[in-house]
Amino acid sequence: MTTGELARALRSWRDRVTPSDAGLPEVGLRRTAGLRREELAAIAGISVDYLVRLEQGRARNPSTQVLAALARALRLSADERDLLYRAAGAQPPAAGVVPRHIGPGTARILDRLADTPVAVFTASWDLIHANPLWNALLGIAEAVSARSGNLVWRHFTGVPSPVVHIEEEHDRLGRELIGDLRRAIAAYPDDRGLTALVADLRATSPTFAEQWDDYAVMPRTAERKTIHSPAVGLVTLDCDVLATLDSDLRIIVYTARPNSEDATKLDLLRVTGRHEAT
């Protein structure tokens, strides 16, 4: 496909996504039903100027990170995502590589969980999406690199975490994460990034190397997490990990038990978190 066809495809996809589809409030009169350029740029995390150049056919060879962000923001199906990559002159993600695409159905679910701390991770535990309430709860800004956003890497390299664990819980979580990596390696043998992650962890963390070599796979269980939130102090929440069947993603959801002190703290965080984000 030509650069002109990429530009036309982007404009067409933007026109069909309504603000409500993207989880945005519909305020005031709009000339078109679709997203404005500044709205799409904000959702995808790119500049409006760059989006304009893409839609006018003046920007060439967008990175795969930009393409993945646009695919998520535009609510593209897997086939449409592949078309986007090819139109931009890039190879679509291969079948043997860990999926990172958030499909339209999963995106709609995330939109409806805006009042709940939610994050999305890949099968290898790379963070690919976190809503504002998640960031406010954990006091975590966007990861500066893919490795720093990987939960397994953070756990075994001693990156400070706001989640409070006793030694037994910390050990169990590590073994659960190793089991997840083993399943990911088996499912996505062609993913070089995943292979490199395991190799780097073996070289960096003696604990990881020892536990990786014992081949024990710990089953994952639902649990409660105590978080030392910089915004509301200690809060204990139910932590559930949901799996998507179509793209093999993990959705982590934190919820508070009704009428509890923790629920009150989460209510406060919804107000303060939105204010700080604004």
Write out pLDDT tens, residues 226-265.
Answer: 999 988 999 999 999 998 877 899 999 999 999 999 999 9
Q: Domain total for the chain?
A: 2
Shared domain for 127 and 239, answered yes or no, is: yes
Amino acid making up residue 191: D
Q: Which residues contact 213 (CB under 8 A, 6 or more apart)?
A: none
Q: Is 198:185 a contact under the CB 8 Å cutoff? A: yes
Q: Which residues contact 48 (CB under 8 A, 6 or more apart)?
A: 37, 38, 41
Within 10 angstroms of residue 88's Cβ, the number of other Cβ atoms is 22
Render pLDDT for 113-154 as a digit per residue (tens, 0 to 9). Answer: 989 999 999 999 999 889 989 999 998 765 556 688 899 999
Shared domain for 154 and 194, answered yes or no, is: yes
Shared domain for 20 and 130, answered yes or no, is: no
End-to-end CA distance of the chain: 39
Sign of CA dihedral 157, 158, 162, 167: positive
132 inside domain: yes
Rounded to whole angstroms, the Cα distance separating 202 from 65 reads 27
Rounded to whole angstroms, the Cα distance separating 179 from 32 reads 48
92 inside domain: no
Residue 277 has pLDDT above 50, yes or no: no
Shared domain for 47 and 117, answered yes or no, is: no
Q: Distance of CA 71 to CAs 98, 116, 201, 249, 269, Å?
A: 16, 24, 31, 16, 30
Shared domain for 227 and 165, answered yes or no, is: yes
Render pLDDT for 53-108 as a digit per residue (tens, 0 to 9). Answer: 999 988 888 988 899 889 988 999 888 999 999 989 888 887 788 998 888 889 88
Residue 258 has which token pair? Answer: 């009704």
The boundaries of the domain holding residue 36 are 3-87
Q: Is 215:226 a contact under the CB 8 Å cutoff? A: no
Number of helices and strands in the chain (H, E): 12, 6
The pTM (predicted TM-score) of the whole model is 0.80
